[in-house]
Chains A and B, each alone.
Chain A
């Protein structure tokens, strides 16, 4: 009360110059800047003094020294490498968590977000419980739980869970292929908004054929094609071992097919889009483009299978220490080919190598090994963040006004078209900015890897600091690394955001 009622400041106490707002502001800023500089300078001096007292100088030269410590999950790194190499290992490991994690969490988050809006009560409630439980408990606790409870409960490596189980199984491949063709045909030819009666008939007959073929195929024909299954994935307390696909000498040529497929698909897409726009005739351009692309990929694979191969291959026989000539097929079956030879002579662009344990059944010799710490941090982050993303997706979809849905129904759009053409573009506009925040959170939370001893950038730098004593430099490097990751994610998300924002005047 008193403030408003009382008199204004006296008008003639100061010369006019000092009553000019701009000048006052300038002065204030200068003072502020000076204070900031003084404080920062003081900080720096103090740190320098402290460091000098322990004979250190904050620079980056030490990074060239020999590291002298080993790291898990480190690829080709060894303790003889330099600090900078160790740092790089950490950085790459962090990126492994962050990039894969972003992809996985987005998928799960969107799925759960759509479940949250399901018309099914149980599904809705389950996903609600999922979201609430996960986002109301700390991520650190969740990571601990994954590591110490979930992964510790897995069997030891010798009794690892294998998937698929090793053995020969009969699969009705022909029937599958046939069914697939029929289903594709139905999909292609019986869709559309105004579907004539005969098309419905075709559809029903097609479905009947598929059902019959499968039933009779399995019941009557029975056996199918015997296929040998090798375990592609082993899950045990020591982590997960996954098969690897190694590009062979044919990979390059095959990629040419793939690229051509992509180009053709895009051209078709454009062309049919143009036709639709000019004639109004609805064409499922995405479908056609996809089929063409897959066709090219498969074609490439088939063509590769027909490459000329040498009739005999020289195989090194260890026992007799001689190189023996073997017919092509026998050589491949003998299992005595070196990996280089396999890559050179195979008829496949990619070679499948199942994970194998070494003799003692301890370490994974071939295949990709995923350590339990990686699993824990990955699952923890992905599941935790997905709860938040689910909420964002739900809110985004709900933010689309009801009138939009009603209008699109009135226009006769199908459920899928409505989602694709009306709901999603509008929802994405709301979803993307907070989604970017969650991505940033995930990337920053990846530093919690230290809790499960995963060698991410943070832990590596910590080790480096302990070894070299360069705490200031180390910390600066960590901060910079995270800043770089954060800024990259922000940049990408901003670009995406711009793409989806409403263009206004």
Chain B
């Protein structure tokens, strides 16, 4: 497409011999060359270029015109929270914030791992953005003065076209400490009607009415003048009958100007229809005449008919010239009266007098008079002036006597009504300014001085429009529209029980044509500050994560995962699977609370087993990789998994999906750690240190539960006893751990395997029911747990310890944290000691395990190289350090400290279920996406495999499912989930819509993913299967080890494409009433302040969607380009 012209080096040299040096071919290289190549290649190209540039210019200018001149960006700025999380309870905002921060941290780490080479650019851009965000608002605010807000004061009613407005006497506003509120008469700005009409800034309704009136009058004036000119030149009368034209041309010579005007107006009204400014003006004039005619002589209908016809826009042109003399008189008389004030009346009289004296000899009504006497230039000017003045009503300035009356203004405290500042504004120099002492409500009172009558426009600094925002069911606050900074939650002020009107946006529509300056000062600072508040912590955390990642990378050495560029996506996908099964399990079982009893236990077990099996598979795969040439420490893999999972886990937990209630998990942190633990434990079923910590942990749990249940309730608050208890537990843990490490020599293989299997089951039981244990002695739970523990111990003692894996470190740390968290819900500061004790235990066991493994290590080092073990030594230490730091920080965020710094100990206090109906915005969109991807991927995989199964029953069932789901629209499934699910089981009616939508999206997406995966499977050579069978692998082994990795790798782009479309499809949930981004956009345009501001809101929503989708597709393209899709590229 864009081939650069290349210069053939050899040819240049040959030419050089003959002709000496030549100038470079300027027309073929450089900018000119590029333009010739890409823009002006052929005549058609030139035309295309011109047309495209025109189109681009049109689009760009149109956009900026709109964006700067007329768009109301407050609709976005003031609804940012709504867009991000809707009415999510403010008390839980920290969850979202925490999630974002942790994601930022891991983004940084991932950048360090994956994008080191191109990072310089990223850093530069990020820095530039930060600088811009931070520096621009103050610069703008200091350079461009804040525009005034205008308020009308006084006691004269201002007539609008439809209603009468009186200036508000009292006005409430909010202000920030340290700001200055200043008020003065706006005499300088609005000393004539022109400036009044263009008044730019926020102004209240009365001022708006004044400005509108001024603008109307100006328009009328201009149009009248234009009409006069056109009338004289005959421009407007073309096409009319000759007779009519003559009448109009003789206008200047008739002695009845007004009658002719009426005639003229009727013609114009007849010829022109629609929204033409002139016509509307003339119509106005006609209305006035109509009123006149009605009042005087109701019998005279011809003019009324004409007027009516003009209104309908279909006047008959023949109705032109038979106005009776009576009517002419009537109109003349009436018009002068209707025009209102004496001055105008005089003017009218004067004009008529002038006309008769100066120009009129014999009135010339003749239809065919060709010899018109043309008035002179001076006469025309005069006439025009008179005409315009006659037809234009009195100036607004004079009408309301603007600014000539002294105004008394007072600033008061809105609560106590105590006067803080007062002043008298009588002239241009007068000003009242007041420094606000504290944030809060204030009251501005403005009125004419006693006994005076008049109106004035006040120009104010520091008084901004206010919007009232509902944050959740219980909370709302008042925010300043223009800077969005000050938010006040106290209720609005009242006088005598009545609300004082405050400066709301609807009353204070911005008026006037907005220029770039106003745009900048109004929209840029608040928006940038807002973005800054969101992005700056994010950036900083990213940098922090990046530095940590680099440190880790440095510690790990050159061949670590940070330098490895292959198959990350597969890793990621694999590592997501178990997590998502878990999430599904939570969401379905606990979140819904629909299934209970035995089915729940079975499902829980199934989900947990799914995790364990998948994890086993990954572990095997990792071990295989480790044995091979790809000498990467499994720690590094594990870290990658961790990083892949962590943000999602945090997100899910942070926003509480799956209804992780306190009763289920213990605490948010506990839940998080539990989740990660589930994963890492899978990696560590055979680890020595893993045993230590696990077993120790379970002893601790049992002991804890026993003590809590058996012993007197309060004693563990006693520090000494509690320390003793923990020490005892620690001792047991150390004992168990060392036993485990010593007895690692293997027994019978089969025994080991069965032991493994059984104890896995038991382990799951234990894990699932730990909390039951710790809660209360509840039925058979302790029994089950005890049984599990026995199996567990059996497995631990009789199965062989295997290789030293650094995963164990992480597992250990996670377990540690889990226990720590658990303990923290019981005792507060002593848990720190507990934690330290466990650290010591961990370190001891670490040491112990290390020395015990010395022999084995030597052997394996010989097999797979020393590198692995270097990581194994360094990596854990670094990781441990990072974890410890993180863990020290986390509790203060996660575990609820109340105002006194006392920990909230009841799990239910820590994590009450939030009302899912209040969730919304980007949060829901992302949640549905992440959970949808996670849940639909394994299902899709299973469907794809099922479809290729050689068992007809399975195969056709899968085909049926896939084809039916693919054949119907997603929205049908969504409605099915909403409407029909309660029919199937009434108990499911309690499930929130978001969960149902998620299930529908998952079902839908799974069918498509299945087809994608099937495509990948089909692209594989049959030889792969045959070879695998020849090696003796079972069907499952072939599928999991041979086929799936290749197939998935081949269809990465298709998978990502499906994920993107899932992301976009989440917008459909707005149709079933969920408030995702699209739903929120529709909500914003229903707010009274931003009614119908669809351009702005939809644009913003589209940008959000675009950013995420484009990011996904960009990553997909990068993966394709860097070779993970290499299989596919070769095949094509």
Complex Cα distance, B48 from A348, in Å, reads 40
Chain B CB within 8 A of A346 CB: no
A486 near B953: Cβ-Cβ < 8 Å: no
Closest chain B CB from A469 CB (angstroms): 11
Q: Does B419 contact A (CB under 8 A)?
A: no
Which residue of chain B has the shortest Cβ distance to A159 in the bound complex?
B274
Q: Which of A122, A158, A486 is in CB contact (< 8 Å) with B313?
A: A158
B240 in the interface, Cβ–Cβ < 8 Å? no
B52-A126 in contact (CB<8A): yes
A341 vs B985: C-alpha distance in the bound complex, in angstroms?
64
Query: Which of B155-163, B261-269, B880-888, B966-974 lies at the interface?
Result: B966-974
Q: Are B984 and A479 in contact (CB under 8 A)?
A: no
B971 and A450: CB pair below 8 A?
yes
Residue among B1, B37, B38, B969 having the largest count of chain A Cβ atoms under 10 Å: B969
A335 at the interface (CB under 8 A from B): no
Residues of B contacting A: mostly = helix
Residues of A within 8 A of B1071 (CB): 140, 448, 450-451
Residue of A nearest to B35 (CB): A121
Pair B49/A487 contact, Cβ less than 8 Å = no
| Alpha-carbon distance A43/B1060, docked complex (angstroms) | 33
Question: 1/0 per residue A131-151: CB within 8 Å of B?
Answer: 011011111110011001100
Residues of A near B624 (CB, < 8 A) are: 1
Nearest A-chain residue to B1060, judged by Cβ = A136
Is B828 an interface position by the 8 A CB rule?
no
CB of B972 within 8 A of CB of A447, answer yes
CB < 8 Å neighbour of B1095 from A30, A149, A450: A149
Given contacts A2-B802, A32-B953, A140-B1070, contact A117 B986 (CB under 8 A): no
Determine if B953 and A121 form an interchain contact, defined as CB atoms under 8 angstroms apart.
Answer: no
Contacts of B749 on A, CB cut-off 8 Å? 6-7
Establish whether residues A475 and B1106, one from each chain, have CB atoms under 8 Å apart when the complex forms. Answer: no
Question: Do A124 and B1113 touch across chains, with their CB atoms under 8 A apart?
Answer: no
Find out whether the CB atom of A32 lies under 8 angstroms from the CB atom of B954. yes
Given A2-B802, A47-B983, A458-B972, the answer on whether A25 and B951 have CB atoms closer than 8 Å is yes
A28 close to B (CB within 8 Å): yes
B883 to chain A, nearest CB (A): 27
Q: Which of B1022-1060 contact A (CB under 8 A)?
A: 1060
B983 lies within 8 A of A50 (CB)? yes
Q: Which residue on B lies nearest to A44, using beta carbons? A: B984
Q: Please, which residues of chain A bring their CB within 8 A of the CB of B22? A: none
B37 to chain A: which residues have CB within 8 Å? 119
The 0/1 profile, CB within 8 Å of B marked 1, for residues 102-128 of chain A is: 000000000000000111111110100
Other-chain residue from B951, B985, B1094 in contact with A29 (beta carbon distance below 8 A): B951
Q: Give chain A residues whose Cβ lies under 8 Å from the Cβ of B802.
A: 1-2
Q: Which residues of B contact A25 (CB under 8 A)?
A: 950-951
In the complex, B337 has a CB within 8 A of chain A: no
Residues of A within 8 A of B56 (CB): 122, 126
B45 touches A120 (CB 8 A): yes
Q: Is A181 an interface residue (CB 8 A)?
A: no
- B 1056-1099 binary contact with A (CB < 8 Å = 1; else 0): 00001000111110110000001001100000000000110010
A486 touches B1 (CB 8 A): no
Q: Are B972 and A136 in contact (CB under 8 A)?
A: no
Q: B953–A137 contact, CB under 8 A?
A: no
Query: A33: nearest residue on chain B (CB-CB)?
Result: B953
Interface residue from A120, A135, A148 paired with B41 (Cβ < 8 Å): A120
A132 nearest in chain B by CB position: B1110
Contact B980 A475 (CB under 8 A): yes
Q: Which residues of A contact B976 (CB under 8 A)?
A: 475
- Check if B986 sits within 8 Å of A120, measured CB to CB: no
Q: Is the CB of B951 within 8 A of A141?
A: no
> When A46-B984, A138-B1064, A138-B1065 are in contact, do A124 and B969 touch as well, CB less than 8 Å?
no
Smallest distance from the beta carbon of A237 to chain B beta carbons, Å?
A: 14
Best-surrounded residue of A51, A117, A458 (most CB of chain B within 10 A) = A458
Q: Tell me, yes or no, whether B620 is within 8 Å of chain A by CB.
A: yes
CA distance A32 to B956 in the complex (A): 12
A378 adjacent to chain B (CB < 8 Å): no
A475 and B972 within 8 A (CB): yes
Q: Are A141 and B954 in contact (CB under 8 A)?
A: no
Q: Does A478 contact B (CB under 8 A)?
A: yes
With both chains docked as a complex, state the minimum distance between the C-beta of B959 and any C-beta of chain A, in angstroms. 13
Contact A124 B979 (CB under 8 A): no
Give A243 Cβ to nearest chain B Cβ, in Å.
23
Known contacts A29-B951, A29-B952, A120-B48, A51 near B983 by CB under 8 Å: yes
**Is the beta-carbon distance between B984 and A141 smaller than 8 angstroms?**
no
**A137/B1102 contact (C-beta < 8 A), A119-B41, A149-B1095 known:** yes
B1109 part of interface (Cβ distance < 8 Å): yes
Choose among A29, A450, A483 the residue that contacts B968 (Cβ–Cβ < 8 A): A483
- Chain B residues near A43 (CB-CB < 8 A): 984
Task: State whether the Cβ of A260 lies closer than 8 Å to any Cβ in chain B.
Answer: no
Known contacts A3-B620, A29-B952, A141-B1102: A471-B967 contact under CB 8 Å: no
Closest B residue to A399 using CB positions: B1132
The listed residue (B753, B803, B984, B1110) touching A136 by CB distance below 8 A is B1110
- Residue of A at shortest CB range from B42? A119
Known: A119-B41, A136-B1110, A140-B1070. A448 touches B753 (CB 8 A): no
Chain A proximity mask over B42-63: 1 for CB below 8 Å, otherwise 0: 0001001100110110000000
**Contact between B38 and A119, CB atoms less than 8 A apart:** yes
Say if the beta carbon of B1131 comes within 8 Å of chain A. Answer: no
CB distance from B613 to the nearest CB of A (A): 11
Interchain CA distance A336-B555 in the complex, whole Å: 96
Q: Does A141 lie within 8 Å of B1067, measured CB to CB? A: yes
Q: In the assembled complex, which residues on chain B have CB atoms less than 8 Å from the CB atom of A448?
A: 969, 971, 1068, 1071
Note all chain B residues with C-beta closer than 8 A to A462.
975
Contacts of B980 in A (CB 8 A): 47, 471-472, 475
Contact A478 B52 (CB under 8 A): no
Q: Given A6-B753, A132-B1110, A136-B1109 in contact, is the A141-B983 Cβ separation under 8 Å?
A: no
User: Which of chain B's residues have a CB closer than 8 A to the CB of A296?
Assistant: none
List, in ascending order, chain A residues with CB within 8 A of B470's CB: none
Q: Say yes or no: A1-B620 contact (C-beta < 8 A), given A126-B52, A471-B979.
A: yes
- A140 with B972, Cβ < 8 A, contacts A29-B951, A126-B52 known: no
Q: A190 at the A/B interface (Cβ < 8 Å)?
A: no
Please report which residues of chain B, range 627-686, place their CB below 8 angstroms from some CB of chain A when the two chains form the complex: 627, 686
- A353 proximal to B (CB < 8 A): no
Q: Is the CB of B1064 within 8 A of A137?
A: yes
Q: Is A149 within 8 A of B1113, CB to CB?
A: no
Q: Which residues of B contact A487 (CB under 8 A)?
A: 967
Contact status B968-A120, CB under 8 Å: no
Q: Verify B968–A479 contact, CB threshold 8 A.
A: yes
Report the minimum CB–CB distance from B129 to chain A (whole Å): 21
Chain B residue with the shortest CB-CB distance to A30: B953
Q: CB distance B972 to A478 under 8 Å?
A: yes
B10 at the interface (CB under 8 A from A): no
CA distance A136 to B986 in the complex (A): 39
Query: A139: which of B967, B1064, B1113 is its contact (CB, 8 Å)?
Result: B1064
- Closest-by-CB residue of B relative to A31 is B953
CA distance A475 to B274 in the complex (A): 49
Q: A78 at interface (Cβ–Cβ under 8 A)?
A: no
A145 to B803, CA, bound (A): 61
In the complex, 13 of the A-B residue pairs with CB atoms within 8 angstroms, ordered by the A residue number, are A2-B686, A3-B616, A30-B953, A119-B37, A120-B45, A137-B1064, A149-B1094, A444-B969, A444-B970, A450-B971, A451-B1071, A471-B980, A486-B968
> Footprint of B on A, CB under 8 Å?
1-4, 6-7, 25, 28-30, 32-33, 36, 43, 46-47, 50-51, 117-124, 126, 132-133, 135-141, 144-145, 148-149, 152, 158-159, 399, 440, 444-448, 450-451, 458, 462, 465, 471-472, 475, 478-479, 482-483, 486-487
Q: 10 tightest CB-CB pairs across the interface, nearest first?
A: A121-B38, A122-B52, A138-B1067, A136-B1109, A447-B969, A29-B953, A486-B967, A444-B969, A138-B1064, A50-B983
Q: A1-B803, A137-B1105, A445-B969 are in contact. List 9 more A-B contacts (CB 8 A).
A: A1-B623, A1-B624, A30-B953, A36-B953, A120-B39, A141-B1081, A159-B275, A444-B970, A478-B972
